[in-house]
Structure formats: structure tokens, C-alpha cells
Structure 1
Amino acid sequence: MIKIEQIGFLRNQLGEGPLWDDELQCFFWIDSLKGEIWRLDKEDEIRRYITSEMIGSLAIIDDDMAIVALRTGLYLFSFSTQSLSKIWDLKNDQVDLRLNDGKTDRQGNFIVGSMCVKDRRQPKAALYRINSELRVEILEEDVIVTNGPCFSPNGSTFYFNDGRRRILAYDYDPKGPLKNKRIFFDGSKYGTSSDGATVASDGNIWTALTGSHEIGCISPSGDLITRIPMPVKLPSSVMFGGTGLNELFVTSISNSGNRVSKEHLAGSLFKITNINAQGIAEQRFRLSV
């Protein structure tokens, strides 16, 4: 039987960016609007790290360092000193943009996208790739908000939600442009919309169905095959973790600015077990400079 349990007694404002680091055997997530990084060790110890701005996502580099996507750009962040070093500036002259969701590809490049802060209906954001030499390139434009970037088990297919209640799929080359854009999953057909996502070892995509208060499992052919009701209205993202990568961690929202939930458990971190699925260890960001 599927089991859902609350972890700790936290109430994040905008819980997002779940990330399991297989080398450290610990789980990271963020409270985006507060600029906080949270860490859960295998001994169930919870720590908090504070950045200087809103945070959209992060990727681990080594045991002390991460690349973090903050409102104004990309930074290197030290967990031991909680210090930041800016490595790339998000040009923000014409529209009110900030960086949002991100994930490493199977080669250790960091894929991250932006979003409009004030007018979230405008397709003025973009999707970027940052390589080991900190070179940044644009992969896609005409994006409303970047959510749920993730990769097929062999890394040849890239998925992400561009803010139009759908998940797009592309053929992916870690050194080339995105190709063969297609609609992989249309949430409107199921009366829902997806948010953060991750891919299991069998190729199924697990995602937070914020539009229907559920966690969903989508087959590689784009069919919604499993729906798990959540005890909160606004689950936000998912990530496999645990020693066997068979536990599904779920972040949630209490107040994102445009979505508010006053439920007792809103903003909590959850863990789902007994779902007969296993994740794939996420790559660390491979920094070579």
C-alpha cells in the first residue's frame, strides 16, 4: 500500500527544487521566495542555508559547493561559509525575469530556465544550458515559466513544462541544439497541469499535478497511468531519493504569491513509499574552471 508521510514540521512558503545527492546520501530542497536552501541528512537532521535573493534551483558540485540559480543570475554557493560568487548575470533590462527550475543533464551540464515575475502570462523567458567551463547558451525561447526539466534514462530525450499546461519533449544532444520539439503531455486533457518532475529508471515521468492536488506518473508514450492524491492542494515538485532511490520526496506550497493554501500541511515536505518505482541518481554539475 502506498504510504505518504510528512517529514519534519516545516511550512515552506514556496517549496521547490528537490534534489537527492547520491554521494552525500542527503536531500536538498528550497524555499524559493525566501531564498533558503534546506538539507535533510540521512540521520534526519534538517539544516537551513540562506542566500541573498529568491532562488529557483540548485545543483551540487562537490560536498561543499553548489551552483544556484538566483533571481539575478547564476552563483557558486559554499555551504560551509554560506558565501556567494556570481558567475553569470541574467540580463533583465526589458522584462522582469528571474531564474527558476533547473536540473543537470546526464553529462553534468546545468539546464535552467527563467520566468516573468510580474506578468506570468508573457512568453518572454528562456531556457539555458551551462557547461563545465561556465559557458551559457540559450536552448529555447518563447517560454512563459520553466518547470520540471528532466531527462530520459539514457539522456537522449529532454522534457520540460513551458508554462502552458503541457510537458514538451525534445531530442537532446549535450553539445547541440534541442531538436524535434513535440507536445509530450497535455494536462488539460486530464483536467490538471504539471509542475516539477523527475524520471524513473523505467522511463516513466513522475510529476506534481498542481492543478488537481495529486502526484502523477506518465508513461514514456505520454499517458497518465497513475494518480496519487496528496494531503495538500499545491504539491510543487518531486524527486526520488533514499538509499535505494525508491522513495519519492514531494515539496509543496503555502503561498507562492499568486497561489495560497491555508491548509495545516501546506508547505510541508512529504515522502511517498511503496510506489514500486526507482529513480536515477542525478549527476553533479561538472565544473572544470
Structure 2
Amino acid sequence: MVEIKLLVDCKNHLGEGPLWDVRDQRLYWIDSTACEIWSCNEDGSDVRTYYVPTYIGSMALRERGGAVLALADGFNFYDFGTQRVTAIANPFTDKPGYRFNDGKVDRAGRFFAGSMGYDFDPLNVSITRKPGDGGSLYRLDPDLSVAEIDTGLVCANAPCWSADDKTFYFGDSEHKLIWAYDYDISAGEVSNKRLHISDQNYARTVDGATVDSEGYLWNAKVLGGRIIRYAPDGSIDGEFEVPVRNVTSVMFGGRNLDVLYFTSMAKAVRGVPTTQDGAGGLFAIYGLGVRGLPEARFAG
């Protein structure tokens, strides 16, 4: 029997990026625009909060301890003890209208993170763009070099890899698309970009995603109150209604990697306050009968 629980009523302004650490058996997530990192045990206990100096798009834990962050001003290392950041590189020096958004680490230890425009608003029809505008996808290698992997993004989201590491998935919330690329895990290179999922439902758009051990992609539908499981061919395999409209990202975790955690946001949309109980909270779904894959740590 599937059961959904509100684990932490944290009222995040923009909760994002749940990350289960198999080494320490803890869940991490971020409040992107409140400039915070959150952490708790599997059951939502022992909640801790850490602070960063600017907007945080995504994070990954490091093999050497601490984390690597995709902040508004670029890639940074983070020390949880001192709560201090150390700059690595800023690819936005010539793109002042953009900042980092969603990101993840491949199983070779490289950190991929994409950008978004500060003016992105999925409900603002006055902002008209076309594919080819704006932001980019970047790769931070363990030697701390940065490569631009793809361009033409407005609000980068949903990076994840197939279970066999041969396919990379990546999306853009503005255009409600997720692409698939052939992936070379030995070099960290993508090729053969093609459309994988197009969800043009006017009431929702794509947000954070993960892939389970069977190779199915799970995607949070922000503004739509849904989480959808997609088969490897891009068809819908299952759809789950959740208690909050603005569900933002998903990640399998727990001792057996069989709990689907999801984040949400409490911020107002178009100035209208969010009134749902639990909005901005961290939730968990039990009883799905599916397991996830362990997340890698950044190797640098």
C-alpha cells in the first residue's frame, strides 16, 4: 500500500534537490532562494540547517568531505563545520541574468549543473523565448576544470543517468521537455541529443528527476501536484498525486533505497500565497515496491 508522509514541515521557500547519502545514511536538500542546506535522518528526525551566502541551485557531497555547491556565483566547495564556501569557478561572469539551478554527479564523480534565468516564471506568458536562448549546462571535473556541455536553456532541470550509464537525461522547465543524450561515462561527454519526454500540460512543467534501479525515470511536476514515472521509451508508466501542488524534486533513499523523498515550495506564485498544508515541506512516499540507485560523490 502506497503511503505519503510529511516528514519535515520545514516550509521551504523553494525546496529542491533531495540527496540521499548512502555513506552516512542521511538525507540532504536545499532551500534554493532562502540560501539554506537542510539535512535529516531517514525518518525525518535530527533536522539540521546550514547556511550559504547566496542562492543555491544544487549540491553534491564530496569524496573528501564537505560538499560542492552550484551557487548563484558559480561552483564552490562547502565546509559543513565552518559553513564557509571556497570559490572554484564562475561561468556566469558574462551572463549576469543567469544563475545555477539543478545539478547531479555522474557515477565517475563529475558534477553536472545547468543554469536558469533570474526572470524565469513558468506562469508569466509575457516572457517569450525559444529554444536556443540563454543558459547552459556545465560539467565540473574532478581536476576542477569546467566545460560547457550544452546551450540554449532557460531553466535547466532534471539531470540524471540511466542505470547502465549509457543515457543522460536533461530538461528545461520553460519548454516542458526532457531530452535524452548518448552518454560516454569514460569521458563525461554527451552526443545524439533527442526529445525524450514532452509534457505540454498547461498546468504543470518538468522539475527535478531521478532514475530507479529498473531504469525508469521519475519526474516531479511543479505546479501540477504530480510525480510521474516514465518507462525507458518515454511513455508514462505511473502517475502519483501528491498533497502539495508545487512538488519540486525527487530522490530515492532510506536504508534500502526504497523510499521516494520529494521536496516542495511554499513561495507565492504571481504574488498569491501558498495556503496548502505542508507546502514547502519534505515528504516521503512508502510502499512503491521500487528501489533507487545510490548517488555518487564528487571525486574532486
Q: What is the TM-score with the length of structure 1 in the denominator?
A: 0.94
Partner SS state of residue 33, structure 2: coil
CA distance in 1, matches of 2:95, 2:158: 26
* Cα drift, residue 192 of structure 1: 4.1
Q: Which moved more, 1:204-213 or 1:77-86?
A: 204-213
Counterpart for residue 33 of structure 1: 33
Counterpart for residue 207 of structure 1: 219
Task: For 1:181, give the aligned amino acid.
Answer: K
* Cα drift, residue 35 of structure 1: 0.7
CA distance in 1, matches of 2:238, 2:218: 9
* Cα drift, residue 96 of structure 1: 0.8
Counterpart for residue 166 of structure 1: 177
CA distance in 2, matches of 1:237, 1:8: 15
* Cα drift, residue 94 of structure 1: 4.3
Counterpart for residue 267 of structure 1: 280
- Taking a change above 3 Å as real, the CA distance of residues 176 and 75 of structure 1, as seen in their structure-2 partners, is closer
CA distance in 1, matches of 2:276, 2:42: 28
Counterpart for residue 282 of structure 1: 295
- Taking a change above 3 Å as real, the CA distance of residues 176 and 240 of structure 1, as seen in their structure-2 partners, is closer
Equivalences for 1:108-257 in 2 at 5 Å?
108-119=109-120, 122=129, 123-163=133-173, 164-174=175-185, 175=187, 177-188=189-200, 192-255=204-267
List per-residue Cα deviations over 1:33-68 (Å, max 9, x = no partner): 011000112472000000000001000004741000
* Cα drift, residue 161 of structure 1: 1.0
Counterpart for residue 53 of structure 2: 52
Identity across matched positions, percent: 36
Counterpart for residue 124 of structure 2: none
Whether 1:86 aligns to 2:97 is no
> 5+ unaligned residues in a row in structure 1: which ranges?
none
Contact 1:128–1:140 (CA under 8 A) maintained in structure 2: yes
CA distance in 1, matches of 2:26, 2:57: 19
CA distance in 2, matches of 1:276, 1:40: 23
> 5+ unaligned residues in a row in structure 2: which ranges?
122-126
List per-residue Cα deviations over 1:230-269 (Å, max 9, x = no partner): 1111100000000000000000011166585221211011
Partner SS state of residue 200, structure 2: helix
Q: Which moved more, 1:154-163 or 1:184-193?
A: 184-193
Partner SS state of residue 172, structure 1: strand
Partner SS state of residue 207, structure 2: coil
* Cα drift, residue 95 of structure 1: 4.0
- Taking a change above 3 Å as real, the CA distance of residues 132 and 208 of structure 1, as seen in their structure-2 partners, is same
Contact 2:120–2:155 (CA under 8 A) maintained in structure 1: no
| RMSD (CA atoms) | 1.8
Q: Which moved more, 1:258-267 or 1:61-70?
A: 258-267
Q: How many aligned positions are there?
A: 287
